[in-house]
Amino acid sequence: MDKYLNAVIIGSGSYIPTLRISNDDFLHHIFYDKDGTALSKSNKDIIQQFGKITGIRERRYVSDDLVASDIAGLAADDALKSSGIDPESLDYIIVAHNFGDIKADNRRSDFVPALASRVKHHLGIINPLTVAYDLTWGCAGWLQGIIQADFFIKSGSAKRVMVIGAETLSRICDPHDRDSMIYSDGAGAVILEAQYDTLQAGILSHVSKSYTDDLAYVLGMGRSYNPNFEGDALFLKMNGRKLYENVLKTVPLTIKDCLEKASLSIPDIDKLLIHQANEKMDEAILRELFNIYGEEQRIPVDIMPMTISWLGNSSVATLPTLFDLMIKGKFENQKITKGTNIVFASVGAGVNMNAIAYRVPY
Q: In terms of domains, do 237 and 101 share one?
A: no
Q: Is the pLDDT of residue 2 over 80?
A: no
Q: In terms of domains, do 178 and 230 share one?
A: no
Taking only Cα atoms into account, the Rg of the chain, rounded to an integer number of angstroms, comes to 20
First to last CA, the chain: 17
315-353 confidence digits (pLDDT tens)? 999 999 999 999 999 998 898 989 999 999 999 999 999
Closest CA relative to residue 347, chosen from 299, 278, 287: 278
Q: In terms of domains, do 243 and 320 share one?
A: yes
- φ, ψ of residue 179 in degrees (nearest 5): -60, -25
Q: How many domains does the chain have?
A: 2
Tell me whether residue 294 is exposed, middle or buried, using C-beta atoms within 10 angstroms of its C-beta: 0 to 12, 13 to 18, 19 or more.
exposed
For residue 354, give the amino acid letter. Answer: N
pTM: 0.96
Q: In terms of domains, do 294 and 174 share one?
A: no
Question: Residue 161 and residue 93: Cα distance in Å, rounded?
Answer: 6
Look at residue 318 in the predicted model and tell me its pLDDT: 98
By residue range, what is the domain housing residue 225?
A: 202-359
Q: In terms of domains, do 353 and 223 share one?
A: yes
Q: Is the pLDDT of residue 129 over 70?
A: yes
Closest CA relative to residue 361, chosen from 204, 149, 206, 256: 204
Q: In terms of domains, do 220 and 180 share one?
A: no
Given 150, 170, 197, the domain boundary residue is 197
The two counts, helices (H) then strands (E), for the chain are 8, 15
Q: In terms of domains, do 153 and 74 share one?
A: yes
Look at residue 257 in the predicted model and tell me its pLDDT: 98
Q: In terms of domains, do 283 and 340 share one?
A: yes
pLDDT band at 201 (very low <50, low <70, confident <90, very high): very high
Q: Is the pLDDT of residue 195 over 70?
A: yes
- The percentage of the chain sitting over the pLDDT mark of 70, rounded to a whole number, equals 100
Given 197, 216, 248, the domain boundary residue is 197
Q: In terms of domains, do 30 and 108 share one?
A: yes
Cβ–Cβ < 8 Å for 296, 287: yes
pLDDT band at 296 (very low <50, low <70, confident <90, very high): confident
Closest CA relative to residue 10, chosen from 112, 86, 68: 86
246-275 confidence digits (pLDDT tens)? 999 999 999 999 999 999 999 999 999 999
Q: In terms of domains, do 103 and 182 share one?
A: yes
pLDDT band at 1 (very low <50, low <70, confident <90, very high): low
Cβ–Cβ < 8 Å for 165, 96: yes
Q: In terms of domains, do 250 and 313 share one?
A: yes
DSSP letters spanning 180-195: GGGB-EEEEEEEEEEE
Given 138, 166, 197, the domain boundary residue is 197
Q: In terms of domains, do 158 and 287 share one?
A: no
Q: What is the CATH number of the domain that holds 210?
A: 3.40.47.10
